[in-house]
Amino acid sequence: MLKFSDDKLKEVKKIIDRYPQGKQKSALIPLLHMAQSEFGGWLSPESMDYVASLLSIDPIEVYEVATFYSMYNLQPVGKHIFEVCQTGPCMLNGSDNIINYIKTKLNIGVGETTEDGLFTLKTVECLGACGYAPMMQLGDHYREHLTKEKVDAIIEECRGK
Amino acid sequence: MAKKVLLEKAHIKGIRAYDVYKAQGGYASVEKALKMDPAAIVEEVKKSGLRGRGGAGFPTGMKWSFLAKPEGVPRYLVCNADESEPGTFKDRYLMEFLPHLLIEGLIVSSFALGSNSTYIYIRGEYAWIVNILEQAIEEAKQHGYLGKNILNTGFDCEIYVQRGAGAYICGEETALIESLEGKRGNPRIKPPFPAIKGLWDCPTVVNNVETIAAVVPIINMGGEEYAKIGVGRSTGTKLLSACGNINKPGVYEIDMTISVEEFIFSDEYCGGIPNGKRLKACIPGGSSVPILPANLLLKTAKGETRYMNYESLSDGGFATGSMMGSGGFIVLDEDQCIVRHTMSLARFYRHESCGQCSPCREGTGWMEKILTKIENGKGQSSDIDLLWDIQRKIEGNTICPLGDAAAWPVAAAIRHFRDEFEWHVNNPSLCLTENYGLAHYADELSIVS
């Protein structure tokens, strides 16, 4: 059985307290973020059901939200996810070259994970870093002004973690 | 040097921390506003002429005055920090470097509107900014600007940061409210407008980050003084995020009196185009607004200089003009292919359509497919007309403006760059290796009046 730690459960209560009585469903999106980061980087049916039970809502209400938002992973992912932006302004600055370089370097396609389970490559739409293009999201942070050399360094950095 | 009222202090070392911000005159507007009648604050904002900085440009004071005030029902202020319009990254800059400016603006605005629980809805990807904002909120609370009985006025206010999870559509205010209620970001049918029935069915105002930040200088200097900055109905300053093929991408604060040419080519702003390339086209207000070729961008169809403000950018309507929008300024140099760029934007809108309305759900995918076909040398002449037909059938036929936002870039690309599309169709193998280039897009226009 999946369960948040006591500390996380305190955090859950704090989040629910932000909303008026009976409106605890508002905590769903924050709780799904928490479940994803606590339970292996993706949302399994089991972790979604757990979140539903915490908020006293039906599991279907969780599934319909989890499938709508692009930040939730509905299948297992690698330890490090390269989410490379491919929208207009990044494209003008060579995001296609960066995506192709990562594909070759890691020998995976978009949406795939390396055999050692370390890296997943995703393409994403505009992340609001257009002036610092090309860029990608890695965990909770952005990596900007990407070049092949920078990508090499990021891969090494991740391997060292 | 243009007047700055938002980013004036952004470069001061340590300004992100409360002590430095306060020492620079921070929170003066809260001290002033909380002694005023809330209705008088709304009046000041009306006098300032401030228009919503998220993209629509609706007068903020008027939006505030629509807020219903039924007895015994809570009212809410929600700050829209779901910045997702391609080309736009100004709110991120403001929150990252001047978090206290946003918090200060939110306290004043919450007091004016009577919101005791105020929410900042921030796009999920800006994860690190959540921490910055929460720290600023904590500091403001420690110093008595948030919490119970603020400055002994009897006014209580809490600010909470809510993270989204990746959905452009949640920048639309009713989708944002749905998302804040823990649902899919499906926009609501209006009316009722949020001012009557918003968050948890209570009266709600949703304002963009930059709009809320602008309330601080408005209260400090007075609405009338603020309205003296800028020109005509484009009062105050506007943050622009410039990107694409320019030497100095970044966030700039302008006072809406400078010309488009100055903005692109002067060293104070974009610093011109790299590698000696020439200007081909520009999307001046975020990816949804019409793209303009260089000649129509720098001058209006009447041959007058075009300026960086609401009126001048929209001069000529959609036939020959564009929009100020969100201030996301995307520059394309002579090497860029308009078909390819439009295809990329079409992919974005297909990805971000919530799927509620069929014209948008089906139409965005259809447009992406046709554009991909043309870009890959597999298009037919009739595809260009088909594209035009589809965008026309999306526009105005959806619950929310995402449909329009998806249709406009395609319409403008065909309207102004039709010969580049035709060149692709007529040169199916050449277009895979070569670019159409600048062609005549920077030529002086011969005006037919």
Contact list in A for residue B345 (CB cut-off 8 A) is 87-88
Domain match, B192 and B270 both? no
Nearest CA in chain A to B90: A128
Q: Are residue B208 and residue B240 in the same domain, yes or no?
A: no
Residues B299 and B385 in one domain: no
Quote the longest CA-to-CA distance of chain A. 52
Residue B207 pLDDT > 80, yes or no? yes
Q: Which residues of A touch B348 (CB under 8 A)?
A: 87-88, 125-126
What pLDDT does residue B3 have?
81
Q: Chain A 78-97, CB below 8 Å of chain B: which residues?
A: 86-89, 91-93
Q: What percent of chain B has pLDDT over 90?
A: 96
The answer to whether residue B442 sits within a structural domain is no
> Which among A21, A64, A130, A145 is the top mutation candidate for probing chain B, defined by the most B β-carbons within 10 Å of its own β-carbon?
A130
Question: Do B361 and B278 share a domain, yes or no?
Answer: no
Last residue of a domain, one of B332, B367, B394: B332
Residues in contact with A72: Cβ distance below 8 Å, sequence separation at least 6, in sequence order:
A32, A36, A42, A43, A66, B165, B166
ipTM over 0.95: yes
Pick among A87, A123, A136 to test the B interface (most B CBs inside 10 A): A87
* pLDDT, averaged across chain B: 96
Which amino acid, residue A42? W
Return the pLDDT at B444.
85
**Judgement on whether residues B53 and B199 belong to the same structural domain of the protein:** yes
> Is residue B447 pLDDT above 90, yes or no?
no
A18 and B CB contact within 8 Å? yes
CB A65 within 8 A of CB A94: no
Cβ contact B125–A128 (<8 Å): yes
Using CB atoms within 10 A of its CB, is residue B318 exposed (0-12), middle (13-18) or buried (19+)?
middle
Do B213 and B133 share a structural domain?
yes
Judge: B287–A88 Cβ closer than 8 Å, yes or no: yes
Give residue B72's domain range.
Answer: 18-228
DSSP letter (8 states) at residue A113: B
Q: Which residue has the tokens 């829209």?
A: B80
- On whether any CB of chain B is under 8 Å from the CB of A137, the answer is yes
Chain B neighbors of A89, CB-CB under 8 A: 86-87, 243-244, 330
Q: Residue A106 in 3-state DSSP?
A: helix
Q: Do A128 and B184 touch (CB under 8 A)?
A: no
The pLDDT of residue A148 is 98
In a domain, B58, yes or no: yes
pLDDT tens for B369-410 read 999 999 999 999 999 999 999 999 999 999 999 999 999 999
- From B284, B306, B332, give the residue that closes a domain: B332
Looking at the structure, do residues B75 and B36 belong to the same domain, yes or no?
yes
Domain closes at, from B276, B309, B332: B332
Residue B228: pLDDT band with limits 50, 70, 90: very high
Task: Kindly indicate the confidence band of residue B2, based on its pLDDT and cuts at 50, 70 and 90.
Answer: low
DSSP A55: H
pLDDT for B311 equals: 94
What is the nearest CA distance from A103 to chain B, expressed in angstroms? 20
Same domain, B243 and B222: no
Q: Is B35 exposed, middle or buried (0-12, 13-18, 19+ CB in 10 A)?
A: exposed
Q: Are residues B33 and B90 in the same domain?
A: yes
The pLDDT value recorded for residue B55 is 87
Spell out the domains of chain A, with CATH numbers in brackets. Answer: 6-68 (1.10.10.1590), 80-159 (3.40.30.10)
**Residues B78-113: pLDDT tens digits?**
999 999 999 999 999 999 999 999 999 999 999 999
B6, part of any domain? no
Banded model confidence at residue B336, pLDDT cuts 50, 70, 90: very high
Split into its structural domains, chain B has a count of 3
Is B13 a member of any domain? Answer: no
Same domain, B208 and B296: no
Residue B419 lies in a domain: yes
| A–B CB contacts, 8 A cutoff, strictly below | 145
Of A70, A128, A140, the CB nearest to B167: A70
pTM for the structure as a whole: 0.96
Would the CB atoms of A125 and B352 count as touching at under 8 Å?
yes
Q: Give the residue-averaged pLDDT of B133-151.
A: 98
**Same-domain status, B265 and B244:** yes
Cβ–Cβ gap A26/B287 under 8 Å: no
Local mean pLDDT, 10-residue blocks, chain A (161 residues): 95 97 98 97 97 98 98 97 97 96 97 97 97 96 98 97 87
Q: Is the pLDDT of residue B70 over 90?
A: yes
Shared domain for B181 and B163, answered yes or no, is yes
